[in-house]
Amino acid sequence: MADGPAPLHVSLIAVPEAAISTLSGLYDVLNCFGMLAGIDPAIPQRPPFKVEIVGERPGPLVLVSGLAVDVHHGIDAVPQTDIVIAPSFLLRGNAWEKDRYPALVAWVRRMHAQGASLCSACSGIFLLAETHLFDGRESTVHWGYASAFRKAFPQVPLKPEQVLMVAGTHQELITSGASMSWHDLALYLIGRHVGVTAAQAVARYFALQWHQDGLAPYIVFDGARDHGDAAVLAAQDWLATHFSVAAPVDEMVKRAGIPERTFKRRFTVATGLAPIAYVQRLRIEDAKRRLERTESPADEIAWQVGYEDAASFRRLFKRTTGLTPGAYRRRFQVPGFARATR
């Protein structure tokens, strides 16, 4: 007698831009149930997923890393599926070339119309967004591609600090953020379709971790510089090495020779941040590097980056990164066993 319902069909999209680590990782984890059956009672005896790699045509496909995968089926041979996953892609020149895969985009739309869930890992959302099914739906993407995505798809609300976003009338539009958050996507799909205890068992076996603190701690601040305002750009250049001075905004206004209100308005329009918020982001970014690379106490680092009040620094650090300075250091400082010895 069959143990449980028929397996859900999962279609992993392969295109030349795909990262093999994400594609193969999702394939292995979602295909692991036959291997884990009997190891943990939470694992069903019958595999809950049937995972296949699909693309424009079947056969070997060399991915962006130079390694090849075997595409099991061309999309013409897949008339129906339950879950579509676009893995992470490497964008050449940090830009997505639209309309390169019209047949794939049309196929994704058809699968969704028949009830399939659409999932992206990291930058896979670029392909899925061409369907326009994500318009007006909050989504996430690798923070390094956020600016490029907003330019390409301004109609899709973006939250790159979020690990996983679930949207759609039937919660069928699922996006995961930076690179390794494909772990969260895989565990979410297992938890949703198989059960939370099964997701926990798989996480234990593979040592996967939920990114429960979000992705804000991982984001590296890089202020917008393609705005074309020379006065603001000059201020940014100066601020890059003088953010820790006292009253940096007053000094920027003085150096710009522009009325204060006009300067602040132009700076905010150009960079998307008020001058003081921009200063704070630079200071916190420098503090992150010092926490990662030195043993200096947090109070000393607060003073080094421009804060006399250590308590204010700690509050701002937590608000910006989602972690306290101590927790951030524990998360990102290279552990002792991995440090080179001389």
Q: What is the pLDDT of residues 28-39, one digit of tens each?
A: 999 999 888 888
pLDDT of residue 106: 98
Confidence of residue 4 (pLDDT cuts 50, 70, 90): low
Average pLDDT value for residue range 275-288:
97
- Taking the domains of the chain in order of start, what are their residue ranges? 8-218, 230-336
pLDDT of residue 336: 78
Contact present, 159 and 138 (Cβ < 8 Å): yes
Handedness of CA 284, 153, 120, 116 (dihedral sign): positive
| Ramachandran quadrant class, 297 (left: phi over 0; alpha: psi -120 to 50; beta: rest) | beta
Closest CA to 41 of 197, 267, 238: 197
Percent of the chain whose predicted confidence (pLDDT) is above 90:
84
Q: Is 237 exposed, middle or buried (0-12, 13-18, 19+ CB in 10 A)?
A: exposed
CATH number of 8-218: 3.40.50.880
Contact present, 57 and 75 (Cβ < 8 Å): no
CATH number of 230-336: 1.10.10.60
Tokens 């006292």: give the residue. Answer: 246
304 vs 329: CA distance, rounded Å: 16
